[in-house]
Chain A
Amino acid sequence: MTAIAAAPSRTRPRGLQRLLATELKLSMREPLLLFWGLAFPVGLLIVLGIAGPKKPQHSLGGVKLIVAYTPIVMVFTLTILALSALPAALASYRDKGYLRRLSTTPIGAVRLLAAQIIINFALAASAVILIALVSHFAFSVALPRQLGGFLLAIVLTMGAMLSLGTLIAAVSPTQRIAAAAGSLLFFPLMFFAGLWVPQAEMGAGLRDVSHYTPLGAAVPAVQNAIAGNWPGTVHLLVLAAYAVVLCALAARLFRWER
């Protein structure tokens, strides 16, 4: 174990790759995460597709129930990952002193944060693709016709929600509080997304309010893109604004140590 001079530039990618692989493995060891982030949304979609009315619904703006709910389930999945998985991992890493431990190594704690965000982004993207495929092949919901608009809407939604998740981790003193804050925010956010009352069935005033919430803007943006139209500019701007503001706040408030 003699000391040998450093050659850091060559090793960085290797370290980050290993970090990503390790974080992915750790995510796969969370059964609750896999259930809520993958099994439950796909199951919900299948139940809605089989048990729900097959005819276009007047109250849903003339579309079938499964068509209205496919984007809602996508957004639901992103939200579970962003508000539950991400803050739980980051807050527990901080509580344990793992972030601090990493900050003594060449990889640094910043890359760990990046790895967590990338992994959750990848998990969310896989879930969205899976949901799109299931609803297409099982219930003949069309694949997004405006693919560019769809991807933009999904990426902005993920940006807004992952920033919100990081912000929760940043301001929560402990892992417990982070978990509580995540689930507390989940219900109002999903309400505006239309999980219980689809936006088409909401009153005009409530619908307007919901369009200024992150998920209330995300659902119509995704719906439009699936239907073949470019998502509404206001919806995209609302999502982008949430992503930028929440991300800046999270970066400002994040504490590496307890």
Chain B
Amino acid sequence: MNETLTYTTAQTATDVVVSVDDLHVRYGDTLAVDGVSLSIRRGEIFGILGPNGAGKTTTVEVIGGLRRPDSGSISVLGLDALGDRPQLRQRVGIQLQSSELPDKLRVAEALDLFASFYSDPADPAELLELLGLAGKRDDRFANLSGGQRQRLSIALALVGRPELAILDELTTGLDPQSRRETWRLIEGIRDQGVTVILVTHFMEEAERLCDRVALLHHGHVIAIDTPAALAANAGAGQRISFRPSAELDLAGIRELPEVRAVRRNADRIVVEGSGDLVAAVIGTLVRAGVIPEQTRIEQSTLDDAFVGLTADAAASEVADNTREESR
């Protein structure tokens, strides 16, 4: 146990790929990023989530060396994100939101062009195959569908065989089928040791892909954890509903430490709570001699966590403002 701990610590210390400390970025009067700190480990898929205007894109633009922060320190792959930009561009692949190519540039030409920029590029033909664009080799950019453009953009971000890939709104505009294929591709590159930063507002995507996520709200990090842990800690927790086989006194259930709320919904009983809720409730029912029928168990999702945490953050901001006003 002790050994494992030491090992984990050493692993963490040496394998931090991105380290951001107290980052501030200002656009005119507004602070887009207000004290963001995070560290990303080698080989993980790190999600950056948050509502529009939370500072997600600005944060990754600073990490990618595209934007100069007003203050804070950023180290990427052991390089200074501002001083070592030529080195960084060689080792970091970035997929930007809404960036287009010249209308008359063909798919294969674009990929060959971008491949020529890097010292050790991937095979463009193989990448086109992987992203399902092999049949579109000779199509002009202007004639591609939104999903095809998106896939080409991903290919261009990966063609330099980056150690760190920054993907902003990876699957926006893709149909469910291509979205799943893209997820498999991203898991594939992660398995080959590439670290991935994923900016997304699709909770399903974050839950499926990300090893850890940071929730951003109004330029602050309000939580960093695994998607599962965030979901579990979210206010909603779990919900069990069932039809009792016999009349049941709800007081016994309400007293359980795991239970937060109990209510009747027609002939069903709905119990909300957290921790080992299912075992506790079923145990109580068994002792009372009641059998739960048509039991449904709902686990709260990252979506609930997201809504809960951003609402909390908004509430505490309001509280702060009120306090300031009353002073």
Contact = CB atoms under 8 A, between A and B. Distances in A.
Interface of A: 1-4, 6-8, 10-11, 14-15, 17-19, 22, 25-26, 29-30, 89, 92-93, 96-98, 100-101, 103-108
A93 B104 CA distance: 12
A45 to B, nearest CB: 29
Given A3-B163, A105-B89, A14 B116 contact: yes
Interface of B: 64, 66, 86-87, 89-94, 96, 98-105, 109, 112-114, 116-120, 122, 156, 158, 160-163, 189, 192-194
Q: Which of A2, A6, A19, A96 has the most CB of B within 10 A?
A: A6
A11 B116 contact: yes
B90 A100 contact: no
Nearest to B126: A1
B99 A15 contact: no
Given A22-B113, A100-B96, A107-B117, 13 more contacts: A1-B158, A3-B91, A3-B162, A3-B193, A11-B118, A14-B116, A93-B102, A97-B99, A101-B101, A105-B89, A106-B89, A106-B119, A108-B89
B112 A18 contact: yes
A26 B189 CA distance: 32
Contacts, number: 99
8 contacts: A1-B192, A2-B192, A4-B161, A14-B116, A98-B99, A98-B101, A98-B102, A106-B117
Contacts of A107: 117
A105 B114 contact: yes
B64 A96 contact: no
Given A8-B87, A22-B109, A103-B66, A1 B118 contact: no
Nearest to B101: A98
A68 B317 CA distance: 76
A96 B113 contact: no
Nearest to B122: A1
Contact of A104 (B89, B158, B192): B89
Contact of B160 (A29, A89, A105): A105
B66 A104 contact: yes
B98 A97 contact: yes
Contacts of A89: 102
Q: Which of A7, A30, A93, A101 has the most CB of B within 10 A?
A: A101
B194 A6 contact: no
Contacts of B92: 104
Contacts of A4: 120, 161
Contacts of A104: 64, 66, 89, 92-94, 96
Contacts of A25: 109
Nearest to A108: B89
A25 B64 CA distance: 30
A170 B109 CA distance: 27
Nearest to B193: A2
Nearest to A12: B117
B298 to A, nearest CB: 39
B102 A92 contact: yes
Contact of B116 (A7, A18, A26): A18
